[in-house]
């Protein structure tokens, strides 16, 4: 039902809604977890509370990044502002890692100085509520990330994917404490959640750094582009293809080899055809094609990289 309602919503609007949904969820869960943590004394719930607080900052950063990344290119930034999403993802990974380290510290301290939990049933109810709300937001954000190729929304969603696993682990720990009286299971669950947070922070940071450093797009994408251009009858060869991702917008630069006797007008027309073939594969992409006469000897990037 909701997919039909969102069918006519633009990509930029979807990204704004997804980022806003993350903030609303994090604020709501922070409030209920504050109550649950103070009331029950559960370190596992405290770890989830810390995660929710970090999610507020992370989602706020995502919302700002999405707003800026959708701005059109300017004289000073002619490639646009797409990389802001990668920068926001890097900052988010720092928040996630910081919250994970804090809870690990608290978990070790709780092992040394055990504490008795009270009314775990209340805590279980709060965490089940959190789990259901989180699953709903994650489903929506992953739909938006897939449709818009937004790294910021994807990074924001990654937080809440972790929350699903952590909420489930916390519910399990509270059930064990309530029915089996194993108090140390609570800090153990908190440490488990924190290690998972650190692993997730590493993955987000790795992807963000790769995008900021203009890592080449996957081989599958590059091969499709080369095949599409070589499939044109006028193409005599393709070399020095360079590609990168700028906030979900693919950018391609390549050299197209043509018959050296072609008039400039014809060479330009053929180049437009080659560009349209690439944009059929990746409609939002930006393409720059340099024309070379076939057989012309020159210094090539492909040859340098092959050495």
- Both 100 and 81 in one domain: the answer is yes
- Both 171 and 242 in one domain: the answer is no
Segment 271-300 mean pLDDT: 92
**Residue 185 clears pLDDT 70, i.e. is over it:** yes
Q: Is 239 helix (H, G, I), strand (E, B) or coil?
A: strand
Domain boundary among 212, 233, 250: 212
- Both 83 and 135 in one domain: the answer is yes
241 backbone dihedrals φ, ψ, rounded to 5°: -75, 125
Domain boundary among 168, 197, 212: 212
- Both 223 and 170 in one domain: the answer is no
- Both 39 and 112 in one domain: the answer is yes
Going by pLDDT thresholds of 50, 70 and 90, the confidence category of residue 221 is: very high
Segment 209-229 mean pLDDT: 93
- Both 64 and 140 in one domain: the answer is yes
What pLDDT was estimated at residue 4?
Answer: 55
Lowest mean pLDDT of 37-51, 215-229, 292-306, name the range.
37-51
Domain boundary among 212, 230, 260: 212
Range among 20-34, 47-61, 105-119, 231-245 rated most confident: 231-245
- Give the span between the Cα atoms of 256 and 289, in whole angstroms: 7
Return mean pLDDT, the chain: 82
- Both 122 and 30 in one domain: the answer is yes
- Both 117 and 223 in one domain: the answer is no
- Both 188 and 236 in one domain: the answer is no
Residue-wise pLDDT for 94-140, tens only, equals 877 887 787 787 777 777 776 666 677 888 888 888 888 888 888 88
- Both 76 and 148 in one domain: the answer is yes
Which domain range does residue 111 map to?
2-212
Rounded percentage of the chain residues whose pLDDT exceeds 70: 90
In order of 185, 275, 283, the CA distances from 180 in angstroms are 10, 66, 57
Give the HSE-up count for residue 189: Cα atoms under 13 Å, Cβ half-sphere: 26
Taking alpha carbons only, the member of 68, 63, 82 closest to residue 214 is 82
Q: If you ran DSSP here, which 8-state letter would residue 76 be given?
A: S
- Give the span between the Cα atoms of 132 and 153, in whole angstroms: 20
């Amino acid at each position: 039902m909701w997919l039909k309602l969102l069918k006519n919503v633009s990509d930029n609007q979807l990204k704004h809604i997804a980022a806003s949904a993350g903030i609303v969820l994090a604020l709501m869960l922070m409030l209920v977890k504050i109550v649950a943590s103070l009331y029950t004394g559960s370190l596992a719930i405290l770890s989830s509370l810390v995660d929710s607080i970090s999610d507020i900052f992370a989602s706020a950063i995502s919302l700002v990044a999405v707003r800026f990344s959708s701005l059109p290119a300017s004289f000073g930034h002619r490639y646009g502002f797409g990389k802001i999403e990668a920068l926001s993802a890097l900052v988010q990974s720092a928040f996630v890692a910081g919250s994970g380290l804090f809870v690990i510290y608290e978990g070790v301290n709780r092992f040394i100085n055990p504490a008795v939990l009270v009314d775990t049933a209340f805590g279980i109810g709060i965490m089940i509520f959190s789990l259901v709300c989180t699953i709903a937001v994650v489903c929506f954000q992953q739909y938006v990330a897939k449709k818009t190729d937004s790294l910021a929304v994807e990074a924001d969603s990654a937080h809440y994917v972790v929350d699903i696993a952590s909420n489930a682990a916390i519910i399990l720990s509270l059930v064990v404490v309530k029915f089996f009286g194993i108090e140390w299971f609570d800090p153990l669950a908190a440490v488990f959640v924190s290690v998972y947070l650190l692993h997730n922070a590493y993955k987000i940071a790795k992807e963000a750094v790769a995008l900021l450093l203009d890592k080449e797009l996957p081989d599958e994408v590059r091969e499709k582009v080369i095949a599409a251009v070589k499939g044109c009858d006028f193409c005599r060869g393709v070399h020095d293809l360079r590609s990168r991702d700028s906030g979900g917008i693919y950018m391609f630069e390549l050299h197209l080899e043509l018959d050296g006797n072609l008039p400039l007008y014809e060479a330009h027309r053929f180049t437009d055809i080659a560009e349209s073939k690439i944009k059929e594969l990746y409609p939002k992409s930006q393409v720059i094609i340099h024309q070379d006469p076939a057989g012309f000897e020159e210094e090539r990037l492909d040859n340098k990289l092959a050495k």
